[in-house]
Amino acid sequence: MKIIQENNLVLIVYKDKRYLKRMGRDKSFHGRGGALNFSDLIGSRYGVRHGQYEIFEPTIEDIIMYGIRRETQIVFPKDGAFICFKLNLRNGSRIIEVGAGSGALTVMFSRVIGPQGIVISFEKEERHYKNSKKNIEHFVEWGNVELHHGDVMDYANNGFDAAFIDVREPWIYFDKVRDLIRGSAPVGMIVPTANQLTDILRVLGSGFGDIEVIEIMLRRYKTIAERVRPEDRMIGHTGYLVFARKLESIQLVQ
Amino acid sequence: MKIIQENNLVLIVYKDKRYLKRMGRDKSFHGRGGALNFSDLIGSRYGVRHGQYEIFEPTIEDIIMYGIRRETQIVFPKDGAFICFKLNLRNGSRIIEVGAGSGALTVMFSRVIGPQGIVISFEKEERHYKNSKKNIEHFVEWGNVELHHGDVMDYANNGFDAAFIDVREPWIYFDKVRDLIRGSAPVGMIVPTANQLTDILRVLGSGFGDIEVIEIMLRRYKTIAERVRPEDRMIGHTGYLVFARKLESIQLVQ
Amino acid sequence: MKIIQENNLVLIVYKDKRYLKRMGRDKSFHGRGGALNFSDLIGSRYGVRHGQYEIFEPTIEDIIMYGIRRETQIVFPKDGAFICFKLNLRNGSRIIEVGAGSGALTVMFSRVIGPQGIVISFEKEERHYKNSKKNIEHFVEWGNVELHHGDVMDYANNGFDAAFIDVREPWIYFDKVRDLIRGSAPVGMIVPTANQLTDILRVLGSGFGDIEVIEIMLRRYKTIAERVRPEDRMIGHTGYLVFARKLESIQLVQ
Amino acid sequence: MKIIQENNLVLIVYKDKRYLKRMGRDKSFHGRGGALNFSDLIGSRYGVRHGQYEIFEPTIEDIIMYGIRRETQIVFPKDGAFICFKLNLRNGSRIIEVGAGSGALTVMFSRVIGPQGIVISFEKEERHYKNSKKNIEHFVEWGNVELHHGDVMDYANNGFDAAFIDVREPWIYFDKVRDLIRGSAPVGMIVPTANQLTDILRVLGSGFGDIEVIEIMLRRYKTIAERVRPEDRMIGHTGYLVFARKLESIQLVQ
C-alpha cells in the first residue's frame, strides 16, 4: 500500500483528461471536476476516487506525456516503447543517445536499463540541453544518465550495447556511432520525412546489416461497451523508425 | 567484443530471412545462401558477414519471433513492447500474468523486470503449460519467472505491481486480479475481437479507472534508397489492447 | 473555356483552406488572403489566381465537403466514392437509399447514375428531411432524385439495381430492401460501431450472400517536395462499411 | 429479373473465393465446391445458390479484380473509385489517360463517364497496349474508349475535363497534360514510391494548384457476428495518389 507523500508526483484523471502534479501542502488543482487541495491527498493512498477525480501513481507514460517539458517534438511512447525493445535494452545495458532533444526518450531509456545500466546522451543545442537536463533531473529515478552538452564526435569510449540517433541528419553520425558500439549491437533512429529515409538508406548499408524501416500507428477506441468504435481522430504521423545492427568490417573467410 | 560459444544462440540473416540457431560443433545450417557449419562460427565474433549470411547476437525480438515455439497465437513484439511500457514494468517489478499461452509475453516480462523482479504466470491448459515451460527454460536468462499449471483463482498473494490477462474471457478474472495488485496498479489485456471488447467494457469500470482501448498497427517499408515505400503486405490485426488502473473501493470523503 | 457567371458555385482556395461560394455581383469574401469581390470574378475564367486566392470550378468533392449543410454526420467522400463503386452504380442505375441524412450521399448517387438513373431516398426525421431536401435542390444537377419524407416500409416498387441503408438499425430494413432490389443486386450500409456490425452480421446472411465488411482509412501527406511525410493528424474513424448481394430464396436443383 | 445467357459474365462465389467466368453451353467450372456445368446456369436467374456456389451478376469490381488480365500492377478499386471521384468524372466527361497499363482504370473510367463521355488513353509499350486493348474490348460496354499505341506528346486535342497519369515519371507529362485539359480541370496520378512524390512535388506547383497527396488503406473484417475483427492480413501499400487542378498562366489583376 503506497501512501501519497509531499513532493510525490500524482496523476489526476478527470474523464479523458490527465494531469501530472507534484504534491505540496499549500498547493491545489482547479479543473473541471472542481478544486482539489493537495493537503487532502497527502497521506492517502494512490488509486482512489476523490470527488470526480481519480488519483493514481504516475507510470512512465504519464511522466513522458504530462511531465516532460517539451521544447522539441518528443519521441512518443508508441515509438519509444518499440525503440527500447528493438534496441534490446534491459537491466544493465549501456546506450549512446545522439540528440537528447527534450529528454523524453532519455528518461525512457533510463527506466528500461535500470540502476546498473548507463545512458550517455549528447545534445548540441544549448537551449535543448538545458531543458532536457531539467527533465532528466526531475524524472530520472536512478542516477544512470550522463547528459553531455556537446557533440558525440568528441566522445571516445566504446563497447556500447546500443545507440539511438535523433537528429536531423543522422547519417553524419553513422561512422562515429559504429565505432562506439560493439559488433552486432543494434542502432536505431527516427526521422519525420521520407526524404531523410532515402538519405539514410543510401549509406547505412556500409557498416550495418539487417536494416529495417518501420512505422507504428496507434489507434484509440472509445470505451463505451455499447458503442465500440475508434476515436474520430488519431495521430497520423510521428516518424519513421530505422533499425540496423553493426557489422564488423572484417569478413570471415568462408 | 563478444565471441560466439558453443550453445549460444545466433541469429543468421540472409536477405530478409532470419533464423535463430543454437550453436553446436557438429551442427550446421543449410539455407539459400549455402551451407554454414557452426564449428566455423564458434570462436568468432558476433556481427560479421559469413559468405552471404550475416551473423548476429540475438535480441529479445529475435527470440520472441524465431525462438519461441508457438502452440498459441503469441503476443507480437509491437504489442508486447507497448504492453510492458503501459504496465510500467521496470527493474524489480512484480507482475501477475493470467494465461501464459506460449510464453512469449512471459519472456518479454522477464526481460524487462530484470533479476530483481518476478513474473508469476498461470496457464490452465496442460499442453500450453508444457510448451510455455520449455520456452521459458530456453529463453529466460534470469530466474525470475514462476510458471504455475493451474488457475490464478487459487492464488493468494497480493501487492503486485501490475497484471496482464490473456485469456478468452478476461472478465472472469477482473475481481481476482484486482485483489492481487496494489491500488493504482495497471492491468492490461489483449483480445482479438470487438465482441470481447464489449464484454470487457461492460464490467471493467467497476473496480478500475482510466480505461483505454488501443490498437497498434505496424507497417514495414522497403529499404532501398531509391524506392522508399511500404511493403505490399502487412499484418492487418493482432488484437485490441485494453488498459486500466486499479481503483480502491474506498472513496475519499471530499 | 468556362466563364464564371452569376449564381455559379466557385471554390476559393487559400493555402490549405477551401471555401465554396455562390457568385453574386454584390457579394464578397473576406479571408486571410484579403477581400475578394465576386463582381471581379464574374466574367473571368475558372482556374486562375486572384491575389493570394486560387479560383476553381467546384468538383463533386467540393460540393460534398464545403457545400452540403450538415445536420447529421455525413458519409465522407473516401467512403462515398467506394460505396458508389461497390454498389456498381453507373449511368442509368436505379437505387434505393434508406436514410437520406443530410443528403451528401444522395448527391453523390445522383451524380454517378446520371440523368437516366434515379435515386429514391427516404428520410423519416422531419428536420433531416427538410435539410437534405434543400441540399438536394442546391446541389443535384439532374432531376434524378426523388426524396420521400417517410418510411421505406410503405414503398411498393421493386426491381432496383442497388440499395444503401444509412440508419441506426439497418437490420430492420433487410427484408424490405431485399424485396425492392432485383436478384444479385448489391446492398450497402455504413455503421459507426462494432456492436452494430455484430447485429448486422447476425441476420444479413439470410437473404444475402457474398458479405463483406470493410474500413477505409485516408491519410494525407504534406505537399512540400523536400519534406514528404504524412500530416500530423488524420481522421481515425468514420464508419464500417458492409456490402452484400441479394440471393433469391429459390435454390437451383443441382 | 435478369436471366443468365450464353456469353454472359457470371461471378461464382465459394466461401471467400470469387471466380469470373464467361458462360458457354459446353463449358464448366471445377472448384472446391464441386463441378458446375454452365449449361445448368444458362437460362436461370442471377442471385441464386447452386449447390455450394453463389451465382451473381458481376459488378465493375468483379470485372476489375477477376476479369482484367494483368500484365502490370493494376490500379486497385480502393484507389480507382477515389480517383474517379477526385477527377470529378460523371456522365459525359472527357478524360485523358497517360499510361493505360493493363487497362483496369481505363475500364473504370469508361464506366463512370457513361456512353456520352470519352476516354482517350495512351500506352507506349506494345505488350501492354495489346493486353489493355483486349481487356477494353472484353469489358467496356460503351464504345467510349479510344486507346492509342503511342505517346500522348503527339496528341493535339484539348479542352479535356480531367487527366490521369500512371507512368514511372509522371512529371515528364505535366506540361503536355496541362495543355490538353481546360482551366481548373483536375489531374491525378499514382506512384508507388516516396521518391517519385518528391520529384512530382518539385514541379507540379508550376501550372497546377490545390495539390493533395493521399494514401488510402483498406482493411477487411471477418464476417462472423460473434467474432467481429479485422482480417489477419491486409494490403500494406498500393500507391500514393496525387491530385491537383490546372491553373491558367494568366493572373487576374487585383
Residue-wise pLDDT for D45-76, tens only, equals 999 999 999 999 999 999 999 999 999 999 99
CB-based contact C226 A195, cutoff 8 Å: yes
The cell 465500440 sits on which residue? A228
- Decide: helix, strand or coil at residue C61: helix
| Cell (9 digits) for C30 | 473576406
**Looking at the structure, do residues D223 and D148 belong to the same domain, yes or no?**
yes
Confidence of residue B249 (pLDDT cuts 50, 70, 90): confident
The answer to whether D198 contacts A194, with C-beta atoms less than 8 Å apart, is: yes
- Number of structural domains in chain C: 2
- Residues found in chain B: 254
Chain D residues within an 8 Å CB radius of B169 = none
Q: Residues A182-224: pLDDT tens digits?
A: 999 999 999 999 999 999 999 999 999 999 999 999 999 999 9
| Shared domain check, A180 and A88 | yes
Residue type, D220: R
Q: What is the pLDDT of residue A249?
A: 77
One domain for residues B47 and B74: no
A225 touches chain D (CB under 8 A): no
* Contacting A residues, span 173-202, partner chain B, CB-CB under 8 Å: 182-186, 194, 197-202
- Contacts for B234 with CB less than 8 Å, ≥ 6 apart: B217, B218, B219, B220, D233, D234, D235, D236, D237
* pLDDT tens string D158-207: 999 999 999 999 999 999 999 999 999 999 999 999 999 999 999 999 99
pLDDT category of residue B254 using cuts at 50, 70 and 90: very low
Give the residue-averaged pLDDT of B117-132: 98
Q: Is residue A4 part of a domain?
A: no
Residue at which a domain ends, from A58, A82, A97? A58
- C38 and C100 belong to one structural domain: no
Sequence-separated (6 or more) residues with CB below 8 Å from residue B48: A183, A247, A248, A250, A251, A252, B54, B55
Helix axis angle for D77-86 and D104-113, nearest 10°, is 40
Q: Is the pLDDT of residue B253 over 60?
A: no
- Is residue D226 classed exposed, middle or buried when 0-12, 13-18 and 19+ CB atoms within 10 A define those classes? exposed
Mean pLDDT of chain B: 95
Q: Which of D73, D237, D241 to mutate to test the interface with B (most CBs of B within 10 A)?
A: D237
| Residue A1 falls inside a structural domain | no
Chains within contact range of chain D (3+ C-beta pairs < 8 Å): A, B, C
Among A198, A13, A181, smallest CA distance to A87 is for: A181
C229 contacts A233? CB cut-off 8 A: no
Same domain, D117 and D19: no
Contact of C168 with chain A, judged by CB distance below 8 Å, is answered with no
Torsion of CA C48, C54, C60, C66, to 10 degrees: -150
Residue of chain C whose Cα is closest to the Cα of B199: C195
Q: Can you give the CATH number for the domain in which A14 is found? A: 3.10.330.20
Q: How confident is the model at residue D254 (pLDDT cuts 50, 70, 90)?
A: very low
Q: Do A198 and D197 count as a contact with CB atoms less than 8 A apart?
A: no
> Which residues does chain C have with pLDDT short of 70?
1, 250-254
Whether D111 has its CB under 8 Å from any CB of chain C: the answer is yes
| Closest CA–CA distance from residue D157 to any residue of chain B (Å) | 35
* R_g (Cα) of chain C, nearest Å: 21
Judge: A234–C234 Cβ closer than 8 Å, yes or no: yes
Contact residues on chain D for A198, CB-CB shorter than 8 A: 194-195, 198
Q: To the nearest whole angstrom, how far is the Cα of B115 from the nearest Cα of chain D?
A: 36
Identify all chain C residues contacting D210, using CB atoms and an 8 Å cutoff: 13, 18, 54, 56
pLDDT digits (tens, 9 = 90+) for B170-192: 999 999 999 999 999 999 999 99
Distance in angstroms (rounded) separating the CA atoms of residues D223 and D65: 20
Whether B138 maps to a domain, the answer reads yes
* C197: chain B residues, CB-CB within 8 Å: 194
Report yes or no on B253 lying in a domain.
no
Residues B33, B86 share a domain = no
- Is the minimum CB–CB distance between C9 and chain D shorter than 8 Å? no
pLDDT value of residue A250: 63
Q: Which chains touch B (3 or more CB pairs under 8 A)?
A: A, C, D
Does some domain include residue C42? Answer: yes
CA dist B39 and B44 (Å) reads 10
Is A235 within 8 Å of chain B by CB? no
Chain B residues in contact with A216 by the CB 8 A cut-off are: 78, 216-219
Chains in contact with chain C (at least 3 beta-carbon pairs closer than 8 A) = A, B, D
Which residue in chain C has the smallest CA separation from D49? C251
- Shared-domain flag, residues D83 and D54: no
Measured in angstroms, the CA of A111 and the nearest CA of chain D are apart by 33
Residues A29 and A140 in one domain: no
Residue D197 domain flag:
yes
pLDDT of residue C254: 47
Indicate whether D81 and D15 sit together in one domain: no
- Chain D environment of B236 (Cβ under 8 Å): 219-220, 230-234
List the beta bridge partners of residue D213: C221, D242
Rounded to the nearest angstrom, the minimum Cα separation between C53 and chain D is: 10
What CATH number has the domain bearing residue B178? 3.40.50.150
All cell numbers assigned to B65: 519471433
Cβ proximity of C60 and C109 under 8 Å: no
Q: Which of A218, A228, A229, A238 to mutate to test the interface with B (most CBs of B within 10 A)?
A: A228
Per CB-CB distance under 8 Å, the chain D contacts of C78 are 82, 216
- Quick check: A221 and B213 CB within 8 A? yes
Which of D37, D58, D79 is the C-terminal boundary of a domain?
D58
Q: Per the domain annotation, does D4 fall within a domain? A: no
Which residues of chain A register pLDDT less than 70?
1, 250-254
Are D213 and D235 in a shared domain? yes
Clarify whether residues A202 and A117 are in a common domain: yes
Distance CA B192, CA A100 (A): 37
Would an 8 Å CB–CB cutoff place A236 in contact with chain D?
no
Cβ within 8 Å, pair C237-A220:
no
Asked if the C-beta of D156 comes within 8 angstroms of chain C's C-beta atoms, the answer is: no
By CA distance, what is D217's nearest residue in B? Answer: B236
Give the mean pLDDT of chain C. 95
Picking from B21, B91, B112, B103, the residue whose alpha carbon sits closest to that of residue B58 is B21
Classify residue D81 by burial, with Cβ atoms within 10 Å: 0-12, 13-18, 19+: buried
Q: Is D28 on the interface with C (CB under 8 A)?
A: no
Distance separating alpha carbons of residues A109 and D156, to the nearest angstrom = 63
User: Is D2 a member of any domain?
Assistant: no
| Partner-chain contact A49 B184, CB within 8 Å | no
- The parent domain of residue A191 ranges over 65-246
pLDDT tens, position by position, B212-243:
999 999 999 999 999 999 999 999 999 999 99
pTM of the model: 0.96
Q: Give the residue from A169, A200, A229 with the most C CB atoms within 10 Å of its CB, the best one to mutate.
A: A229
CA–CA gap between residue B68 and residue B62 (Å, rounded) = 9
Inter-chain CB proximity D49 and C18 less than 8 Å: no
Res D121 pLDDT > 70:
yes
* Alpha carbon distance D30, C93 (integer Å): 33
**A27 and A92, same domain (yes or no):** no
Query: What whole-number distance in Å separates Cα of residue A192 and Cα of residue A174?
Result: 18
